[in-house]
Amino acid sequence: MKRGRLRLGIDLDGVVADFNGGWITRYNRDFGADLSVDQIIEWDAPTHLTHFSAMSEFWAWARTCGEGRSLFRPLDTYPGAVDSLNALRQGGHRIVILTTKPDFAVHDTYAWLSQHEIPTEEVHILDDKTTVECDVYLDDADHNLEALSRVRSSATVCRFIRPWNSPADRLVDITGWPDFVELVGSTR
């Protein structure tokens, strides 16, 4: 990995924001269910664990299930995520947020970033993360990891290990935020 100021392409949901904990909590509240995050072992878990027969039904519900806002507005951060991002930023690195969101969640995403004081200079809400050049990427979605490792082969692509993703030869596995900070070599 090259030294100096690095551009770090950081995903939000499943990496910084606890998307699954957020939808599970609200689904249990709204539908009297008793689901737990431990049950999520695949990418499209809502269609397998809930009464939603298609992801389009899930997204229709997610539009307003966050106390009148979208699901993305009230999400919690994962423990250590914001502190780690701050340490990386203080270490001289540039935090570049790369996230995919439905159109209805764009404003809530910006509000969420502000509320949690995510130390970023750039935010890209897009479907194809390969269009943004970074030195290091951190993501949890197999489709993004595969595309990034293929298209951005000179970059370091890190898989934030989650039950819904799989190892691959070209990826660096990250078990938690301390691993990522150590990998990047941030000074605290």
CB 21 within 8 A of CB 76: yes
Would you state the structure tokens that stand for residue 109, as one six-digit string?
């995403």
Q: Residue 97's domain spans which residues?
A: 7-17+77-184
Of 105, 186, 67, nearest to 138 by C-alpha is 186
- DSSP 8-state symbol, 164: T
Residue 72 forms part of a structural domain: no
Task: Place 2 in a pLDDT band, splitting at 50, 70 and 90.
Answer: low
* pLDDT at res. 3: 59
Any domain includes 69: no
pLDDT at 47 over 60: yes
C-beta of residue 91 within 8 angstroms of C-beta of residue 184: yes
- Tell whether 27 and 114 lie within a shared domain: no
